[in-house]
Chains A and B, each alone.
Chain A
Amino acid sequence: MCLGIPGQIVDVVDPKHHIAKVEVSGVRRNVNVALLANGPDAVGIGDWVLIHVGFAMSKIDEAEAQATREFLEQLGAAYEEELRELHASSIE
């Protein structure tokens, strides 16, 4: 139950009660976005959020997500590079 699901906000259903419609893998459901109503993480239509027991817990930060992906890819690149170097070497 703690895993949470990423979904994208597609509509505002009831602004008074902070209910928004999100799309998760093609399915649309209402969730409560009160935790992300104000402040730096305020969300709107188009934003991606992490959903847990019917509440949007956090706004997914695309720039940070991108940084993580780049770290992983660069890690892969460094490894490939090292492998190439190893193949090129012929120590006697």
Chain B
Amino acid sequence: MRRPAAQYGGTGCRLERRERRQLLAEPDSAGRERKAARDVRYVDEYRSPDLALRLAEQIAGLVEPDRQYKLMEVCGGHTHTIYKHGVENLLPPAVDLIHGPGCPVCVIPMGRVDDAIALAERPNVIFTTFGDMMRVPGGNGSLLEAKARGADVRMVYSPLDALRIAREHPDREVVFFAIGFETTTPSTALTLLRARAEGIRNFFVFANHVTIIPAIRAILASPDLRLDGFIGPGHVSTVIGTVPYRFIARDHGKPLVVAGFEPLDVLQAAYMVMVQLAEGRSEIENQYSRVVRESGNARALEAIAETMELRTTFEWRGLGFISQSALKLRDDFADWDAELLYDVPGVRVADPKACQCGEVLKGVIKPWECKVFGTACTPEKPIGTCMVSSEGACAAYYNYGRFSRRLEPLTT
């Protein structure tokens, strides 16, 4: 049974209507409101402030008295949307969004950054990386600092750009820093297949691809966090589909709704989770059906299986070692494997003492509960990875400046 929002004292939202209207507007990183140059199909229609308010009101109507709800958005892309568009401020105080571990840059441990720098500093190497990784601090500085010291580090948008650089510079060794969840892994896989087909032998992959399911299992096993349900990854699910999440509903009795990345998508997914909770159901549902198919993408899974296999274990920042949670290249691709070809130091480096990225990634604390948030740690001079990537919770809070300092502890 759905209750009208009015029953619990109005909308339950914390802001005036005018203020709320401004919230969904897309600000630039300085928080100023930006005017979209033109309508963007499949984007603008999921940003209507009116519909967002109505959804928020419907969510408020589902809140049971004296109950606090904790919904985890697994994916860093959702964290970004939530703060960029002020989604959290639309929700009733009883509904808390907890940020999960799905930020590919954030979970790379310090030691792997040092390995990347060691590769980048080899004399004949052109080291290629997504821009997000440039500022990530390792024990030995960042790639940006290595570049300033003279290493040939280049930002690329796609692994195919790295392959092009290898084609253009046959006398150099081009290493690609492959990071990301299942969303990004197929791109590396297809690039490797193309390198082999074209016989390009000066292109190498430093593989750091991780898998989302073991991370969700680790979160569910964590004793200090009580979650009511999940807003599930959108683009990871385009590849793996929705079937792998079933254990969450079946074995843990928690709903998960796969969601798109526009503010209305996230709100609708939160609404769908709340409806399940109100009706006592726990199922895997798909809000993002315009993009995600239940069975995922067969060709993408095939390309991954052809080029990569599970590592026995891999270290995640904050979550520690998780078995079978990352991929390495198969033996067939040994000739393209930077880790085999070069001697990477492989030294484990502990996170800086001040940094609580681990707790942030597990959803145990909110970014502003970290003692150095916004003071010693800022996007210009980040201490931890969560402050570097635009998908990191600390950076999202900092850039969009809309954190509401509700200080009740997140743990029970």
Interface residues of A (CB under 8 A from B): 1-4, 6, 8, 17, 25-26, 32, 34-39, 41, 48, 50, 52-55, 57-58, 60-62, 64-65, 67-69, 71-73, 75-76, 79, 82, 86
Kindly report which residue of chain B lies nearest to residue A6, judged by CB atoms. B42
9 A-B contacts (beta carbon < 8 Å): A1-B130, A1-B390, A25-B37, A25-B38, A32-B160, A38-B299, A58-B297, A68-B46, A82-B4
Contact B76 A55 (CB under 8 A): no
Partner of B289, one of A3, A34, A37, A64: A64
Contact A72 B187 (CB under 8 A): no
User: Of B45, B290, B292, which is in contact with the most chain A CB atoms at under 10 Å from its CB?
Assistant: B290
**Shortest Cβ distance from residue A35 to the other chain B in the assembled complex, whole angstroms:** 5
A55 to B194, CA, bound (A): 13
Number of interface residues of B (CB under 8 A): 60
Contact B268 A3 (CB under 8 A): no
Contact B290 A65 (CB under 8 A): yes
**A39 cross-chain contacts in B, Cβ below 8 A:** 298-299
Contact B190 A32 (CB under 8 A): yes
Interface residues of B (CB under 8 A from A): 4, 6, 37-38, 40-43, 45-46, 48, 50-51, 54-55, 57-58, 75-77, 80-81, 102, 104-105, 130, 132, 157-161, 180-181, 183-184, 186-187, 190, 194, 235, 238-239, 261, 264, 268, 287, 289-293, 297-300, 303, 389-391
Kindly report which residue of chain A lies nearest to residue B297, judged by CB atoms. A35
State the majority secondary structure of interface residues on A. Answer: mixed
**B102 cross-chain contacts in A, Cβ below 8 A:** 2
**B42 cross-chain contacts in A, Cβ below 8 A:** 6, 48, 60, 65
Partner of A52, one of B51, B183, B391: B183
Kindly report which residue of chain B lies nearest to residue A18, judged by CB atoms. B190
**A79 cross-chain contacts in B, Cβ below 8 A:** 54, 57-58
Contact B181 A2 (CB under 8 A): yes
